[in-house]
Structure 1
Amino acid sequence: MFDQAGLPSVIAQSGQRVWKVAAAVLAVLVSVIGWPLVLRSTAMVQFDYDEGWNALRQQQAAHFLPLYAAPPGLDITNYPPLSFHIIGLLSLLTGDANETGRFLSLAALVAVCVLAGALARLFVPARYAGTCTGLLFALWLEMWMPRRIGVNDPQLLGMVFELGGIYAFVRAVQEGRDVWRTAPLFALAVFIKHNLIALPLGAGLALLAGRDWRRLIPWVGAGALAAGVLLLGTIRLDGPYFLAHMLQPRAYDLSDTLHNIGTYLIIFLPFVLLAGAWAWRNRRDERRRPLAWSWAAAHVLAFIWAGGDGVSRNLFFEAVLLDAVIAVIAGGEYFATPGRVTPRRVALLCVLPMLFPLSQLLFPLSKLPDSIVSGAIEWRELPQHEADFAAGVALLRQASGPVVCENLLMCDEAGKPSAFDPYHVQDQINLGKLDPQDFVAMVESQRFGAVEIGDIDLGNPKRTTRFSKAFLQALAQHYSPALRTPEIVIWVPAPPKASQPG
């Protein structure tokens, strides 16, 4: 572990002031940008497409209805079950699955920040270094993907277990202890969100690179045992088609891959280069090797998965978090050298996290005021969004027959789950596994009592990609709008056209 004990006391005190000032600046920024994101969590609107999707399955789990009882059809449950059961059971106490999921996600974000700080403190003993790490990740999350702050999604909940596992793993390696006890934490993370494999993969590669068979074999065995128990329990409790749902193919777009990777690199390139250099330099250091390999695994996996249909920036969460952790560790090691603690370097340390995005080179700080203003504007507009959402729920509740919703939470709140999942259906159409004309025929025969188009996280519903062009054209011909807002349109069957005489 890095030790400052040999430095002159004046240098150590200067280093502490660096972290204290940086923590104060970051705390102000996180608070100013984050307050509307936290306060909005009680609003009855859908902030992310997955919220309604998750809420329905959480309610199923709360009533012990199997999640994988049937093969994938017009809907799919391609998430592991653990988060559905945790939030579903808690919702029996709170009375609302979606709000429970949001509050648990906020609590998980706090826990992730604390664990990230604890991980950094294993290498940098400065008092405020851990605080800076957690605040830095929170700031980046607020500015880069505010839609995942306080939303009903299991990503951050799973990362609590994953980050707890890597913290315990690194600490055990530093102290010369066995690591097999950390494996169940990684298994729990994967059964909360299946894409959380970067940190356990990095930990395993670190042991493999060091040929540490004494630790590797029991660790792999413990992980396999924990995963096996969770898999058998899932099949027994939630149905035999778990793997069929999880392994359902999805469309892949190379242009989306390049776009998502490019966006990430444009924004985080200085920290990627800094963390990459640190990881390469420490790849053979037994104590630092797990962190170095985890950083590499997080980036490789995110780059590979970046083009999957429906994937979002959350695929880069582990990469971003490790960028923050390693940036603080590298900064701590740099400032531990006598003579490097100067006002100019302290100012650079405080300003560097605010350089968003780097593509706007002439105005590198423009993203900061934009984040503040956009959050305040969203907060001001929430009452109208809630009123529109309530009007949509009331209309859907009155519809006769099945309904279809792009805003899945709206259907869920109306007590009429969507007849099919628009995202999943369109994805399977893109893969050639479903015929789009089948759904056009449903519209032409007016099978649905109502069809809701648009979502608050999409903005203009005309830009939606969750329905085919032919579906929307048929909808305009055979249905008429009963409710129209800037975000959503609800269509109901149009009356038959009167036949022309003679």
Structure 2
Amino acid sequence: MPKIESSYRAVTLVLAALAAAAFAYPLWRIGAGFEIDYNEGWNAFLQSIAARGESPYTTPGPLFFNNYPPLSFYLVGVLGSLLGDPLLVGRALSALAVATISLSCGVVTRAGGGDRTDAVFAAATCLGLFCAFATDYVGVNDPQLLAQGLLCLGFAIYVGGPATPARLVLVAVLFALGLLTKHNVLALPLVVTIHALWQSPPKARLAFLGATLALMALALAVILAAFGTDFFHRLLASRIYDPTRGFLLSMEMLGHLQIPLAASLLFMVLVPRQSAAKSMVGAYLALGLLIGFGFASGAGVDINIYFDTLIGSAMGCGLLLAWIRRQTALPRQSALAAALLVNFGVLLIAPQTFGRIVVDALGDYSERERLFAEDVAYLSGLPGPAICESMLLCLKAGKGVWIDPYNLLQASLTGRLPADQLVGMLRRHEVAVLQMISQREHPLHEAPGQQVIPPRFVNFGDDVHDELDLSYRVARVGLTGRFYLPKASPPPVP
């Protein structure tokens, strides 16, 4: 039996080493001189506004829409102003949050009866899943993982010790900070709140409830005083829903997670209650799935809607491995086989994960930095107002960011703005240069009735592409896409 245990520990250490090596890539990329993700420039712009003490909801103007809670803009903005660059601070906090989430999975596994090896396995599984299947979120200037990190830290503190009033007040504070950072992370606070009000000792329950209500009231008062009701109008702004996109997004992410998710769900359902931690992880996993299914069809929603499912699966698998090792009736190699099976997807995609690092190290990374700098130099030399799909490009080029293409399209499609708002501006040549990398949602020669996979994101409607073809010309194609300049206007008719 000691030999089997040492084999399981060895495999766990190998999985941890592979996850750490994969995590080195987003850490290295923190200082990248190019845009990693579309949202980076959007967040950096609002962070710079917040750092100046201005409202990130009204300052950008009527054609820029902010539908996120405010905390990340002020936190990253202020730290960025102190340290020199909000973009780098946002990326660093995202990477730190992923490490926190992974370590929290280990703490939860320990609280559910696992030992240190099981805790390392859970942490390695979580980190490996993020680095294999969500690389473009890890270490990116986006508040999603920061919010998840705050909530997971709160959950780890909640299950990691006795339910004292001080501990539960701290949990309530962390949950409030998480929800003020991103508003789609409801699963974990709901599960813990229900458990705390149902199972905690009376004094701790009262402290948690009082702290939660006080923080809600304080947050509401500060938000209303600072931003008025405009905050809620923007946060709850309508968007287009497409069940086809939602189905494809769900199948993509659940396909990546199918083995750890299935293993965790079967363990939660088939094995009798083992601990409070197991019960809460099971509820967290189920609620995270329901929220993912419910929101996946919304325009602009990405794989981050299933991050609760990823985290819950890693926690569940840690608890599963701890349970398997306690079962003397099972074959001796069961824990070793389960550890490898749970991480089979991560191991299968490892050549691609590490191949990406090699390609960047051999010159692709520096080439993208050079090409992005060329696009910045080109745009900065053009006079007049610019619209950038890559908002980081406009920021680096010293151009004002006054239009948010995605949210402007949603406002036009849902009737909050005229349907031809942007098309009219282009027709009148009010835009001196427009940069985009998007293609048409429906190609010009798409066959009627043909079954096609819809694009994940649509930032410009086909009517904008039509007007660009009519009134603008492609003056440059660079790393960030195509640069359109107005065609020469015909002379006036005498």
Q: TM-score range by the shorter chain?
A: 0.7 to 0.9
**2:28 pairs with 1:39:** yes
Is the 1:200–1:294 contact (alpha carbons within 8 Å) kept by the matching residues of 2?
Answer: no
Aligned to 1:203: 192
Selected match of 1:311 from 301, 323, 340: 301
In structure 2, C-alpha distance between the alignment counterparts of 1:48 and 1:321, rounded to whole Å:
22
Instruction: Describe the shift of the 1:85–1:482 C-alpha distance in structure 2 as closer, same or farther (beyond 3 A).
Output: same
**2:397 pairs with 1:407:** no
Is the 1:112–1:163 contact (alpha carbons within 8 Å) kept by the matching residues of 2?
Answer: yes
In structure 2, C-alpha distance between the alignment counterparts of 1:165 and 1:132, rounded to whole Å:
21
Aligned to 2:355: 373
What is the DSSP-based 3-state SS (H/G/I as helix, E as strand, rest coil) of the residue aligned with 1:229?
helix
Query: Between the two proteins, what is the percent identity of the paired residues?
Result: 23
Aligned to 1:333: 323
Tell me, which stretches of 5 or more residues in structure 2 are unaligned? 442-454
**Alpha-carbon shift at residue 183 of structure 1 (Å):** 1.5
Instruction: Describe the shift of the 1:19–1:325 C-alpha distance in structure 2 as closer, same or farther (beyond 3 A).
Output: farther
Which one is further off, 198-207 or 235-244?
Answer: 235-244
**2:284 pairs with 1:294:** yes
Tell me, which stretches of 5 or more residues in structure 1 are unaligned? 1-10, 357-364
C-alpha offsets along residues 294-315 of structure 1, whole Å, 9 cap, x if unaligned? Answer: 2222121112111111011111
| Within-5 A mapping of 1:12-27 | 13=2, 16-27=5-16
Is the 1:143–1:371 contact (alpha carbons within 8 Å) kept by the matching residues of 2?
Answer: yes
Selected match of 1:488 from 469, 481, 484: 481
C-alpha offsets along residues 333-392 of structure 1, whole Å, 9 cap, x if unaligned? Answer: 111223647357514523531236xxxxxxxx6533223223433453222222221122
What is the DSSP-based 3-state SS (H/G/I as helix, E as strand, rest coil) of the residue aligned with 1:355?
helix
C-alpha offsets along residues 412-462 of structure 1, whole Å, 9 cap, x if unaligned? Answer: 111213331011012223324333323112112111121011179x9xxxx
C-alpha offsets along residues 181-219 of structure 1, whole Å, 9 cap, x if unaligned? Answer: 422211111001111211011113335666987765543
What is the DSSP-based 3-state SS (H/G/I as helix, E as strand, rest coil) of the residue aligned with 2:116?
coil
Which one is further off, 283-292 or 488-497?
Answer: 283-292
Aligned to 2:460: 467
In structure 2, C-alpha distance between the alignment counterparts of 1:296 and 1:409, rounded to whole Å:
37
Is the 1:170–1:290 contact (alpha carbons within 8 Å) kept by the matching residues of 2?
Answer: no
Aligned to 2:42: 53
Aligned to 2:432: 449
In structure 2, C-alpha distance between the alignment counterparts of 1:308 and 1:278, rounded to whole Å:
31
Is the 2:412–2:420 contact (alpha carbons within 8 Å) kept by the matching residues of 1?
Answer: no
In structure 2, C-alpha distance between the alignment counterparts of 1:487 and 1:335, rounded to whole Å:
51
Instruction: Describe the shift of the 1:430–1:376 C-alpha distance in structure 2 as closer, same or farther (beyond 3 A).
Output: farther
Aligned-residue RMSD, C-alpha: 3.1
Is the 2:438–2:460 contact (alpha carbons within 8 Å) kept by the matching residues of 1?
Answer: no
Aligned to 1:158: 147
In structure 2, C-alpha distance between the alignment counterparts of 1:50 and 1:236, rounded to whole Å:
27
What is the DSSP-based 3-state SS (H/G/I as helix, E as strand, rest coil) of the residue aligned with 1:436?
coil
Is the 1:115–1:163 contact (alpha carbons within 8 Å) kept by the matching residues of 2?
Answer: yes
Selected match of 2:314 from 324, 341, 347: 324
Selected match of 1:433 from 386, 406, 416: 416
| Within-5 A mapping of 1:127-146 | 127-146=116-135
What is the DSSP-based 3-state SS (H/G/I as helix, E as strand, rest coil) of the residue aligned with 2:476?
strand
In structure 1, C-alpha distance between the alignment counterparts of 2:392 and 2:110, rounded to whole Å:
41
Q: Which TM-score applies when normalising by structure 2?
A: 0.87
Which one is further off, 48-57 or 491-500?
Answer: 491-500
Q: Give the partner amino acid of 1:354.
A: F
Q: Give the partner amino acid of 1:300.
A: L
C-alpha offsets along residues 139-196 of structure 1, whole Å, 9 cap, x if unaligned? Answer: 1111111101211011221122201221222235678997354222111110011112
Selected match of 1:116 from 87, 96, 105: 105
**Alpha-carbon shift at residue 231 of structure 1 (Å):** 2.6
**2:409 pairs with 1:420:** no
In structure 1, C-alpha distance between the alignment counterparts of 2:205 and 2:104, rounded to whole Å:
24
| Within-5 A mapping of 1:97-116 | 97-116=86-105
Which one is further off, 142-151 or 27-36?
Answer: 27-36
In structure 1, C-alpha distance between the alignment counterparts of 2:173 and 2:480, rounded to whole Å:
43
Which one is further off, 246-255 or 491-500?
Answer: 491-500
Aligned to 1:89: 78
Is the 2:48–2:86 contact (alpha carbons within 8 Å) kept by the matching residues of 1?
Answer: yes
Q: Give the partner amino acid of 1:294.
A: Y
Aligned to 2:19: 30
Is the 2:423–2:463 contact (alpha carbons within 8 Å) kept by the matching residues of 1?
Answer: yes
In structure 1, C-alpha distance between the alignment counterparts of 2:206 and 2:241, rounded to whole Å:
35
Q: Which TM-score applies when normalising by structure 1?
A: 0.86
Q: Give the partner amino acid of 2:472.
A: Y
Instruction: Describe the shift of the 1:283–1:73 C-alpha distance in structure 2 as closer, same or farther (beyond 3 A).
Output: farther
